[in-house]
Amino acid sequence: MSDSNPSILSHVSIGTNDFEAASAFYAKVLATLGCKEIMRHPGAVAFGREFPEFWVQTPINGQPATLGNGSHFGFVAPDKESVHAFHQAALEAGARDEGQPGPRPEYGEPYYGCFVRDLDGHKIEAAYWDMALIYELYVEPKEHG
């Protein structure tokens, strides 16, 4: 798997205090980005396109799930339309808006994304990166420099 997985991360896990609600929320929202449930264990479910990259689970230590201050989870969107679909699906599933879909000049010209808070309060993001523009602005100038 490591030879064909382009991610630098094996996976990330977030805690939930309502496993069934969180599982249903992420199944609906991540489907807008071409993700699906990859595997499930009691109290844990993994989502991804091909690999179990994003886990939602009840904390193993039995304590309540809490939020990480300053942390958020960004998901790759294949296009701007998917960013909008992600945002809409999240709001319909009970998320709280933290930033409408659109460009964020402070993140660079190639970025287009949105932010929401999931049912447990975790901040999540869908981001589309214009790869042609990334190469034009950041990669190719370095190759010629």
How far CA 139 is from CA of 78, 108, 128, 130, in Å, comes to 20, 14, 18, 13
Look at residue 145 in the predicted model and tell me its pLDDT: 59
User: Which residues is 129 bridged to in the sheet?
Assistant: 111
In a domain, 82, yes or no: yes
In a domain, 5, yes or no: no
Q: Where in the sequence is the domain holding 135, given as residue range(s)?
A: 12-59+74-144
Structurally, the chain folds into a number of domains equal to 1
**Rg (the chain; Cα; Å):** 16
**pTM for the whole structure:** 0.90
How many Å apart are CA 54 and CA 45, to the nearest integer? Answer: 8
Look at residue 143 in the predicted model and tell me its pLDDT: 67
How far CA 82 is from CA of 39, 116, 124, 125, 126, in Å, comes to 24, 14, 14, 12, 8
In a domain, 107, yes or no: yes
Q: What are the two backbone dihedrals, phi and then psi, of residue 144, each rounded to the nearest 5 degrees?
A: -100, -5
CATH number where 83 lies: 3.10.180.10
In a domain, 110, yes or no: yes
Look at residue 8 in the predicted model and tell me its pLDDT: 77
Q: What is the pLDDT along the chain (145 residues), one digit of tens a residue?
A: 446 656 678 899 999 999 999 999 999 999 999 999 999 999 999 999 999 999 999 999 999 999 998 999 999 999 999 999 999 999 999 999 999 999 999 999 999 999 999 999 999 999 999 999 998 998 877 766 5
In a domain, 7, yes or no: no
In a domain, 6, yes or no: no
How far CA 51 is from CA of 38, 54, 57, in Å, comes to 7, 9, 17
